[in-house]
Every structure is written in C-alpha cells, then in structure tokens.
Structure 1
Amino acid sequence: MEHHMRAEYAEGDTPGDPEAPVRKWHMVRGAEEPRTLCGLLLDPAAATQSADAWGTPSARPFCKTCGALYLREVP
C-alpha cells in the first residue's frame, strides 16, 4: 500500500493555497484518500507530499497518531 502525507490547515485558511501555513501533516493511504490514518477527514484540495518526506523537516509538525499507525503499516 502506498502512503502519502496530506496537510491540515488552521480554520479559515484555504486548503491548497501555497501561502496558507500547514497546521499539521497527516498520513493517508493512497494519493487520493482524504481520510487520515488517525481518522480525520481532510479537504481533498489540501497539499500532499510523498511518504518519503516523513521524518524530515518538510514534514513538521506531524500528527503523532498518524506516525504511530504508519510505523505499524510499513515494513
């Protein structure tokens, strides 16, 4: 299964706007999936990153619950 990261924004910020600050990064199953591993439903227009960015500065801040679940799903 391929995972991707999807951005959560603060209330009032426009998902997908390159100027909007990311509140937190979450992990999702598949590039098109808006539901995160922790169960949050994010806007499909929100920015995404490859799962390869997980653990790097570009993925901070990251949802701790998604991180724990992601570690259980990847080899």
Structure 2
Amino acid sequence: MMHQMRAETGPDGATDSVVSWHIVRNADLTALCGKTLSTAAPVQDATRWTLDPDRNCHTCGALFLREAPYFPDEHTD
C-alpha cells in the first residue's frame, strides 16, 4: 500500500502555513484519522514522517505504524 503525507493548512488554504501533517493512502483526500484534506494541500513522501514529529497528527501516526510497522532503513546492519 502506498502512503503519503498531506498537509492540513490554515483557513486560507495551501498558501497558509502547514498546521499539521496527516497520512493518506494512495493519494486519497481522507487522512487515516478521518480528516478530509484539500486537493491543493502540500504533499510529501511518507518517509519524511520522522523529520518533524511535533507537526504530525498523532492518530495518523499510530494507524500508519499498523500498516507500515517500520522503515526498512532503520533495521540494517
């Protein structure tokens, strides 16, 4: 399953700063937590989830870990 991060933006849309990052499946507009996100919202690869954890949706993170239990690069010799 393909995951990506999609931003929740402020009330002025995608030109506003990112309020929170959510995880979506297959470029869907509904986050794992159930929040509906804008088509114009910034998107980034799910591997960036660990870079700024304070701005990530906790619920999306917990559900994402159930679907993708670890990043393979973290478990190499």
Q: What's the TM-score, normalizing by structure 1?
A: 0.84
Moved over 4 A (4+): none
Deviation, structure 1 residue 60:
4.5
Q: Quote the Cα distance in structure 1 between the aligned partners of 2:22 and 2:13.
A: 17
> 1:56 aligns to what?
51
Higher normalized contact order (CA 8 Å, seq sep 6+, divided by chain length): 1
> 1:3 aligns to what?
3
Tell me how large the CA RMSD over aligned residues is.
Answer: 1.3
Equivalences, count: 69
Q: Which residue of the other structure, out of 18, 21, 43, is the alignment partner of 2:17? A: 21
Q: What's the TM-score, normalizing by structure 2?
A: 0.82
> 2:68 aligns to what?
74
Q: Quote the Cα distance in structure 1 between the aligned partners of 2:46 and 2:26.
A: 10
Please give the per-residue CA displacement for 1:2-38, whole angstroms capped at 9, x wherever unaligned: 1000000122x222x2xx210000000012x100000
- 1:46 paired with 2:41, answer yes
5+ residue gaps in structure 1? Answer: none
5+ residue gaps in structure 2? Answer: 70-77
